[in-house]
Amino acid sequence: MSKSDSLFKFITHKPLWVNILAGFGLILILVLLFFGSLSWLTGYGKTEKVPSVTGQNIVAAKKTLEDKGFDVVIQDSLYVDSVAKQAVLRQTPEADATVKSGRTIYLTVNRTIPPQVEMPNLAGFSVKSAEMYLISLGLKMGEITYRPDIARNSVLDQLFNDSPIKPGTKIPIGSVISFVLGSGEGGGDMNVPDLVGMTLEEAKTFLSTISVSLGSIVAMGTIKDSASSFVVRQNPSKLSDSLSLDGSPVPNKIRRGQVVDIFISGTAPERSDSTGEGNN
């Protein structure tokens, strides 16, 4: 007779209630063994206080946490220019929290390379509005200088590393932008510049150098390329309608910050030696 037959005969020859009790006993033993080993398997009841690693380099922070039995996951990265690169900015759970041993600690780390933003066009903004705009982009306001212009405390030029910066240029977050503002004073009268015969781009550049604004641009006829078109008339004109004592035309005067309107054409104007303006 085999061992399996002997075991089957042993069980079947016992009364039914004995077998039921034996079954319940076996189940009870298994349940007790399971719950008894549960705390060992899951670490139930073992807690640990989370150390503070904020401000530490990520390598040192990971070692500190792992030595305490925690798992570490870098959850996110931000950029703060006032904090060391690769330093821990935030931890979850927070420092001194009491958690289960082996818990995962999530870290947010400061980036090594700052992200870039596009430089906005702040010309014409008040200095306060321009500063708030810079802050919203993560940029900083640097030095402020003034030049004669009737637009008091209005941004005339924006500078990066002491050089003009064009709108749309990519610069790192945290960069310092300096401003040239209008002083509120025109800086005295000067003769109206003669723009007739210049291209539109030349006229724009020249007016910016003397702090005179370009007003309306009126097209005379069909123009294919406005940038290479010619100024054929301007208002105010170079010369006034009045004459001096010797009979020569009197130059018109203008202040910095004032406006000159121009009329453009695809054809260069004819010059007049007596007036210095086109015949148009």
Same domain, yes or no, for 244 and 258? yes
Do the beta carbons of residue 97 and residue 68 sit within 8 Å?
Answer: no
**Does 35 reside within a domain?**
no
Which of 91, 110, 129 is the endpoint of a domain? Answer: 110
**Does 252 reside within a domain?**
yes
Q: Coil, helix or strand for 55?
A: coil
Which of 61, 82, 110 is the endpoint of a domain? Answer: 110
Can you give the pLDDT at residue 245?
Answer: 79
**Does 270 reside within a domain?**
no
Pairwise CA distance, residues 221 & 56, whole Å: 69
Pairwise CA distance, residues 44 & 109, whole Å: 31
Same domain, yes or no, for 90 and 150? no
CATH of the domain at 219: 3.30.10.20
Enclosing domain of residue 203: 189-265
Can you give the pLDDT at residue 222?
Answer: 86
Query: Is residue 29 within a helix (H) or strand (E), and if so which, with residue range?
Result: helix 16-42
**Does 5 reside within a domain?**
no
Same domain, yes or no, for 219 and 173? no
Can you give the pLDDT at residue 278?
Answer: 46
Which of 133, 156, 182 is the endpoint of a domain? Answer: 182
**Angle in degrees, CA 51, 55, 60, rounded to 5:** 65
Same domain, yes or no, for 205 and 234? yes
Can you give the pLDDT at residue 224?
Answer: 84
Q: Strand 176-182 to strand 155-160: parallel, antiparallel, or no bridges (unpaired)?
A: antiparallel
Kindly write down the DSSP assignment for every residue of 127-196, as one continuous string: HHHHHHHHHHTT-EEEEEEEEEEEEETBEEEEEETTEE--TT-EEETT-EEEEEEE-S---SEEEPP--T
pLDDT in tens, the chain (280 residues): 555 555 455 555 556 666 677 677 778 787 777 666 555 555 555 788 899 999 999 999 999 999 988 999 999 998 888 899 999 999 999 988 888 888 999 999 999 888 999 999 999 899 999 999 999 999 999 999 988 777 788 899 999 999 999 999 999 999 999 999 987 766 667 899 999 999 999 999 899 888 788 889 999 988 888 888 999 999 999 998 888 778 788 899 888 778 899 999 998 988 654 444 444 4
**Does 144 reside within a domain?**
yes
Same domain, yes or no, for 89 and 133? no
Place of tokens 């148009």: 280
How many helices (H) and strands (E) the chain has is answered by 5, 18
Residue 111: phi and psi, rounded to 5, are -70, 150
